[in-house]
Amino acid sequence: MKKNLTLNRGASPFKFAISFTISLFILISFSLTYANADDGKIHPWGYEGGTGPDHWGEIEKDHEKHLMCREGVNQSPVDISHVPGVMLDDLGCHYLKAPIRIMNNTHTIHLSYDPGSFANWGNEKFELIQFHFHRHSEHLVNGKPYPMEMHLVHKTPGHQYVVIGIFMKEGKHNPEIQKIWNRIPKEINKEFSYENELIDLANLLPQNHEYFHYNGSLTTPPCSENVSWFLLETPIEISEAQIKYFEKFIDHNARPVQKLNHRIIVKIK
């Protein structure tokens, strides 16, 4: 770059102008690529330093895209430490087996899910669109994290979300998780599909389906406060080796817990 911008003795002004224009074009293109965070692949936010959770509310400030990260009062995750009530209700989940469609987007290991699986809540149908993983768990239970947390993300056409959180504790080897781990790509921001390798989410749910429930937000920018959270009380097991393997790709991607404010957490049986 420096060589191109230096006008050597005897070089024509025309050649210098072309060189400068090309260099400027490359610089502008790189800047625009970095800024376009809504394409699902290239993101300027992260979990450490100047792009970490403490600064999410400053990113895209001019367009107020991340306003809720800074000013929201119903943010997630939270610490599940006081559950004053019990609700007798049912979160109806209907999951089909689906091919592995997996991507490492540098923030998490993300799996897209084929249409047809859904959860029912409040007379609404929420389509399962994707699931992903966090290390450590984002939600705490009585101030303590689990080694990992899985999020099943469901959405309505009106952009309302139901997210089911599944805590993952260290224990025995998990064969269904291993199917996913075997396909984690080394190449980032590219989805890989395996039509003949099916995921059965029924094998990733604990037998006890009692939930902690509260209203909150997405745990990543734009931190929108349109999420009904359901956290399964009983964790599933994953081996120490499987946890360490995930860390080779994503070593830390948990947003710190947020203030509960006036919200109430209830237990659903």
Q: Does residue 29 sit within a domain?
A: no
CB atoms within 10 A of CB 256: 12
d(CA 95, CA 200): 8
Q: What are 204-248's pLDDT values in tens digits?
A: 999 999 999 999 999 999 999 999 999 999 999 999 999 999 999
Gap between the Cα atoms of 253 and 150, Å rounded: 12
In whole numbers, what is the pLDDT of the chain averaged over residues? 85
Q: 48 lies in a domain?
A: no
Q: Six-digit token pair at 257?
A: 């817990």
Cα 96 to its chain centre, rounded Å, is: 22
> What's the sign of the alpha-carbon dihedral 240, 246, 251, 252?
negative
The answer to the question of residue 222 being in a domain is yes
What pTM value is reported for the model?
0.82
Domain range for 187: 73-268
How high is the pLDDT of residue 168? Answer: 98
In a domain, 249, yes or no: yes
Is pLDDT above 90 for 3? no
What is the token pair recorded at 69? 């990260």
Structural domains in the chain (count): 1
Which range has the worst mean pLDDT, 37-51, 93-107, 112-126, 136-150? 37-51
Q: Is residue 196 part of a domain?
A: yes
| Residue 161, domain CATH | 3.10.200.10
Q: How far apart are CA 151 and CA 201, in angstroms?
A: 12
